[in-house]
C-alpha cells in the first residue's frame, strides 16, 4: 500500500511539473503580430532600422532555403504575394523562396478565376419539361430521316423553343432505324449474276519495269472472265479488253470499277454501246469492290509472289495458267468450297472409281487432283 501511494504521488508531481512548464512556455513565447499590425508599426520606425532588419531577415531566409523543403502556400499567401508584387517595383529581385514565374502563374490563375466568376450566368437555365423531351424522342423515333434542325423547326411550329444541341442530346437516346433503301450488299446479292467487276494489278518484272494486269471477274460465280497484260494501259487498250471480254453479246448488266484515270471516254462508249451500266465505287472504299480486291490478293499470294517475271509474255502465260486453275480446279470458300467454273467430270469420277492423277500447275507451285479417265 505504501509503495502504491508513493508511485501515485510521483505521477501527480510529474503532471503538475509538466503543466507548469507548458504555462511558462506559453507566457514567455512572443505572440506573432498580424501583417497589418506589423505594417503600421514599420511606418513609425527609422529607415536605417528597417534596412538592418530586412538584411537580417533576408539572411535567415537564405540560410533556411538551403535545407528546407518546398514551402506550402495557402491561397491567402498567394493572393497577398501577388498583391505586394503588383505594388513593389523590384519585386522579382526580392523573391528568395519562389521564382518570379510562379508569381506570374498565380496572377494568371487569379485573373481567370475572377473573370470566370464575373461571366458566370446569374440564373440557372430551367430544365426542359418531361413532355417536351418525350415529344423530341417521339419525333426522332417516328421520322428516321429527320435531323436535329428539322425537329427544331417542327417544334417551333408548336411554339416550343429548344436549342439544336439539346435536341441532339436526347436524339442519341433513341435507337434510330436504318434509312429506307437498298444496301450495297443486298444489291450485289440480288444482281451478282449480272455484275462484273474489273481492276488493275501493277507488278514489276526482273529489270524493275512496271507491268499491268487487267482482270474482269463475274461476282456471282467468282469466275475470271478475262485477263489482259500490257506495259502501257490506256483508255483505248481498256476499251479493246472490254470488246474481247464480251463477244457475241455475252456482256453483264453492270460493271463495277474504281475511279482510275485509265478508264476514259472510249471505254465508257464501248460499255454504253454494249448495254453495260458502269457503277463507280466511292473514293477510298475498297470494300465496295471486295470480290475483285480479294481475287487480286489471291493472285499475288498464290502466283506472282513466287515468280521472277521476265517480261510481258511471261506474265501473260503465268496469269493464263493461274486463271485456268482458279476457274476450273481451285475450290472457293465464298462458294461453299465449290469451283467457280468446273468442267464435266469423267465417267470414272461419277462412280468414284479410277486412279487419282496429280497434275502440277505453274511448275509445281500448285497441284490439281483428278481421277483418271
Give residue 39's pLDDT: 67
**Together in a domain, 349 and 279:** no
User: Which stretches of the chain are DSSP H helices?
Assistant: 2-28, 35-42, 47-67, 75-87, 91-94, 100-118, 130-142, 148-157, 164-171, 184-191, 235-245, 265-273, 290-302, 312-328, 347-350
Residues 336, 352 within the same domain? no
pTM over 0.85? The answer is no
Query: Are residues 319 and 223 located together in one domain of the fold?
Result: yes
Residue 31 pLDDT greater than 60, yes or no: no
Q: With 60 as the cut, is the pLDDT of residue 25 above it?
A: yes
User: In the predicted model, what is the mean pLDDT of residues 327-342?
Assistant: 77
High-pLDDT (> 70) share of the chain, %: 79
Rounded distance between C-alpha atoms, residue 273 and residue 288, angstroms: 25
CA distance 373 to 368: 15
Phi and psi at 123, nearest 5°, equal: -125, 145
Separation between Cα atoms, residue 343 and residue 368, nearest integer Å: 13
pLDDT at 126 over 80: no
Q: Which pLDDT belongs to residue 18?
A: 80
> What's residue 88's pLDDT?
74
Query: Do 247 and 140 share a structural domain?
Result: no
Domain range for 97 is: 74-116
Nearest C-alpha neighbor of 365 from the set 305, 317, 320: 305
Tell me, yes or no, whether 247 and 297 share the same domain.
Answer: yes
Q: Is residue 259 part of a domain?
A: yes
Q: Does residue 52 sit within a domain? A: no
Convert the pLDDT of each residue in 184-225 to its tens digit: 667 667 777 788 999 999 999 999 999 999 999 998 888 899
User: Does the pLDDT of residue 99 top 90, yes or no?
Assistant: no
Q: Give the separation between CA 167 and CA 147, rounded to whole angstroms.
A: 9
Rounded to an integer, the average pLDDT of 143-148 is: 84
Distance in angstroms (rounded) separating the CA atoms of residues 296 and 291: 9
- The residue ranking higher by pLDDT, 67 or 243, is 243
Residue 49: pLDDT band (50, 70, 90) is confident
Q: How far is CA 268 from CA 12, 335, 355, in A?
A: 114, 31, 51
Closest CA relative to residue 162, chosen from 194, 136, 200: 136
Residue 158, pLDDT > 80, answer yes
Most trustworthy range by pLDDT among 3-7, 81-85, 161-165: 161-165
Label residue 71 by pLDDT band (50, 70, 90): confident
Residues 211 and 357 in one domain: no
pLDDT in tens, 260-311: 889 999 999 999 888 899 989 888 887 888 888 999 999 999 999 999 999 9
Distance between CA atoms of 364 and 177, rounded to whole angstroms? 53
The pLDDT confidence band at residue 92, using thresholds 50, 70 and 90, is confident
- pLDDT band, residue 63 (cuts 50/70/90): low
Per-residue pLDDT tens digits for 224-247? 999 999 999 999 999 999 999 988
What mean pLDDT, rounded, does the chain reach?
Answer: 81
| Residue at 243 is within a domain | yes
Label residue 332 by pLDDT band (50, 70, 90).
Answer: confident
> Which residue in the block uniquely carries the three cell numbers 518546398?
70
Number of domains forming the structure of the chain: 4
Gap between the Cα atoms of 217 and 328, Å rounded: 14
pLDDT at 227: 94
288 in the same domain as 229: yes
Cα–Cα separations (whole angstroms), residue 27 to 98, 296, 299, 349: 35, 96, 98, 117
Residue 335 DSSP code: G
- 122 domain-assigned: no
Could you tell me if 334 and 350 lie in one domain? Answer: no
pLDDT at residue 220 in the model: 82
Is 199 among the domain residues?
yes
Does residue 308 lie in a domain region? yes
Specify the pairing of strand 195-204 against strand 366-371.
Answer: unpaired
pLDDT at residue 45, rounded to an integer: 73
pLDDT over 70 (residue 134):
yes
Per the listing, cell 501577388 goes with: 82
Q: Does residue 274 lie within any of the structural domains?
A: yes
Asked whether residue 104 carries a pLDDT value surpassing 90, the answer given is no
Question: Is residue 62 situated within a structural domain?
Answer: no
* Biggest CA-to-CA distance, the chain: 133
| Contact in structure between 236 and 266 (CB atoms under 8 Å) | yes
Closest by Cα among 333, 345, 342 to 373 = 345
pLDDT 10s digits, 336-359:
777 787 766 555 555 556 677 888
144, 258: one domain: no
Each residue of 159-188: pLDDT tens digit?
A: 888 888 889 989 888 886 665 566 666 766
Q: Is a pLDDT exceeding 90 seen at residue 123?
A: no
Indicate if 215 and 333 belong to the same structural domain.
Answer: yes
On whether both 334 and 352 belong to a single domain, the answer is no
82 and 152 in one domain? no
What's the pLDDT at 29?
A: 54
CATH number at residue 297: 3.30.420.10
288 Cβ neighbours under 8 A, 6+ residues apart: 184, 256, 281, 282
Amino acid at each position: 500500500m505504501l509503495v502504491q501511494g508513493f508511485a501515485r504521488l510521483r505521477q501527480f508531481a510529474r503532471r503538475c511539473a509538466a503543466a507548469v512548464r507548458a504555462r511558462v512556455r506559453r507566457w514567455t513565447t512572443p505572440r506573432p503580430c498580424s501583417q497589418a499590425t506589423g505594417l503600421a508599426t514599420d511606418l513609425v520606425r527609422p529607415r536605417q532600422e528597417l534596412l538592418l532588419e530586412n538584411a537580417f531577415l533576408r539572411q535567415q531566409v537564405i540560410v533556411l532555403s538551403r535545407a528546407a523543403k518546398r514551402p506550402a502556400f495557402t491561397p491567402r499567401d498567394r493572393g497577398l504575394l501577388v498583391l505586394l508584387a503588383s505594388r513593389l517595383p523590384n519585386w522579382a529581385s526580392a523573391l528568395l523562396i519562389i521564382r518570379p514565374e510562379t508569381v506570374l502563374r498565380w496572377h494568371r490563375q487569379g485573373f481567370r478565376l475572377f473573370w470566370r466568376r464575373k461571366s458566370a450566368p446569374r440564373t440557372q437555365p430551367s430544365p426542359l419539361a418531361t413532355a417536351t423531351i418525350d415529344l423530341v424522342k417521339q419525333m426522332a423515333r417516328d421520322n428516321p430521316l429527320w435531323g436535329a434542325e428539322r425537329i427544331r423547326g417542327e417544334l417551333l411550329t408548336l411554339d416550343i423553343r429548344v436549342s439544336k444541341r439539346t435536341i441532339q442530346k436526347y436524339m442519341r437516346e433513341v435507337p434510330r432505324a436504318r434509312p429506307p433503301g437498298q444496301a450495297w450488299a443486298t444489291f450485289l446479292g440480288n444482281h451478282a449474276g449480272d455484275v462484273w467487276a474489273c481492276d488493275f494489278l501493277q507488278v514489276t518484272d526482273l529489270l524493275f519495269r512496271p507491268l499491268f494486269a487487267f482482270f474482269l471477274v463475274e461476282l456471282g460465280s467468282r469466275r475470271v472472265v478475262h485477263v489482259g497484260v500490257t506495259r502501257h494501259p490506256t483508255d483505248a487498250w481498256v476499251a479493246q479488253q472490254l470488246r474481247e471480254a464480251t463477244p457475241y453479246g455475252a456482256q453483264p448488266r453492270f460493271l463495277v470499277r474504281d475511279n482510275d484515270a485509265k478508264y476514259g471516254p472510249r471505254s465508257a462508249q464501248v460499255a454504253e454501246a454494249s448495254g453495260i451500266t458502269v457503277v463507280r465505287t466511292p473514293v477510298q472504299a475498297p470494300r465496295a469492290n471486295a470480290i475483285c480486291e480479294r481475287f487480286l490478293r489471291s493472285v499475288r499470294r498464290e502466283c506472282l509472289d513466287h515468280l521472277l517475271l521476265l517480261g510481258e509474255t511471261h506474265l501473260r502465260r503465268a496469269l493464263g495458267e493461274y486463271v485456268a486453275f482458279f476457274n476450273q480446279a481451285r475450290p472457293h470458300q465464298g462458294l461453299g468450297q465449290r469451283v467457280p467454273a468446273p468442267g464435266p467430270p469423267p465417267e470414272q469420277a461419277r462412280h468414284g472409281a479410277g486412279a487419282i492423277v496429280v497434275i502440277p500447275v505453274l511448275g509445281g507451285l500448285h497441284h490439281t487432283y483428278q481421277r483418271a479417265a
